Structure 1
């Protein structure tokens, strides 16, 4: 049975979750001494090896949630636990892939991947030749064999994002955090990278938390889809998605099951999108 056929969230009840969010909240100060709550009382467990997708209306705090898990931002209330240990800041056991590729333009694809290895002491001790080999292996993992010596400006947007994914995985993180990584790509490239990402996840077993605005993307990728409310962001509902092996040749996106899950997620989101739009109108008028 493949990883895709075994929902990771069916872990034994006594198992410590890979990620646990306990009463997580984040409030930001704004001008005039005011403040607004971006997130409020988030409670969520992510099992080891699970692929969780978070979807919600614009401004609901999805990216803030990812920042808190990565340790780039500190919570106002509650805590994030990784393997039962509180997250107190960024660490090399969590890799982040952003919408913008954030590649070093003066380095080749291979040297960009090697950069992640140089930043991790255990891997930096491999030596230059071993680091280069590991970088080539991870570029092959994302389908970029033969492009090792290309600079970012010589690669398409989809290829650059593949390099970013290879760099994130090369340091062997416990958790891969992805903030709308395919949003800027054309539809055909995006669909292809979604399938490639599932294959990579299936091979590596890395725990993935993926942020998106797209309902189709959420249903296609996620073992579970966490639907967030409008601001302040809370977890409205968790949807279990059981579509079997989505990397098979059959067109899962055209199946009745896919359409049913898509409808379920949209039904949960519809009111939240409307509320978020009203909040933006109030802010713009004010």
Structure 2
């Protein structure tokens, strides 16, 4: 089961601190994400990408506008949405299995059912045999797999991912990109994924939403029409069409990154 996401003229303003001026992180953002779609957000640092994800997750309120899930207003966090951050946020005293089971306790599942579902989620992300390992015994990529399994275990209708692979080496990151696409195809979950990487955006997204420098707006949404083989054996990144999409998104981002740099130089943060 998956859910559509609608943002209608969403603005998010943060109040002033220490006598300073308030600032607007997002301004009049409108975006439609169809049920089961994989959409990627890219934009310069400080453009409000993470703020937008927080609004969809229900972790922060909108200042104006509305965020809807299947037509229902978002009023707070819910088990219909899973969130994966760049930081793994695993409990060091719990095994991989125990970390995944933790999220299932909120659903009121009994111990036997929790263990069964958690094992299935770890199997889905390729961690069969690592159920009893503690976080310090896992690589960075494996920790992120546990974090993804934890979010998938309670079968969210929407998966929100905030630069989950940014801290990983290139080889691990590409492997997890393929793993995520495999999971998405299997589950049909609606995915909104934030990244700074243009290659990652083109590789993963059915559509890529390019954001402006702050205040963040949707500058353009690019449809990505690539033939992605399910077995991921071909080198899609070397295809001419991939390079064309990468160039298109780079051109859209170029002026925004420069504008963000000018704001930082002027002391606007």
Secondary structure, counterpart of 1:272 in structure 2? helix
Distance in 1 of aligned mates of 2:20 and 2:221: 35
User: Is the 8 Å Cα contact of residues 220 and 246 (structure 1) preserved in structure 2?
Assistant: no
| Aligned residue in 2 for 1:116 | 103
Unaligned 5+ segments in structure 2 are: none
Q: Look up the match of 1:144.
A: 127
TM-score scaled by length of structure 2? 0.96
Q: 1:157–1:214: structure 2 CA closer, same or farther, 3 Å change rule?
A: same
Task: Report the equivalent of 1:249.
Answer: 233
Partner of residue 208, structure 2 = 225
In 1, the alpha carbon distance for the partners of 2:128 and 2:69 equals 34
* In 1: Cα distance, 2:52 partner to 2:216 partner: 9
For residue 280 of structure 1, what is the aligned residue in structure 2? 264
SS class of match (1:283): coil
1:223-249 per-position Cα deviation (integer Å, ceiling 9, x unaligned):
000000000000000000011225431
- 1:1-286 equivalences under 5 Å are 18-31=4-17, 32-121=19-108, 124=109, 127-247=110-230, 248-283=232-267
Q: Could you state the TM-score of these two structures normalised by the residue count of structure 1?
A: 0.91
Secondary structure at 2:266 match in 1: helix
Gaps of 5+ in 1: 1-7, 9-16
CA distance in 2, matches of 1:35, 1:184: 31
Deviation string, structure 1 residues 76-100 (Cα, Å, up to 9, x no partner): 0101000100001111111100000
Work out the number of aligned pairs and report it: 266
What's the CA shift for 1:34? Answer: 1.3
Cα distance in 2, alignment partners of residues 93 and 206 from structure 1: 10
1:4 alignment partner in structure 2: none
- After TM superposition, what 4+ stretches of structure 1 lie above 3 angstroms from structure 2? none
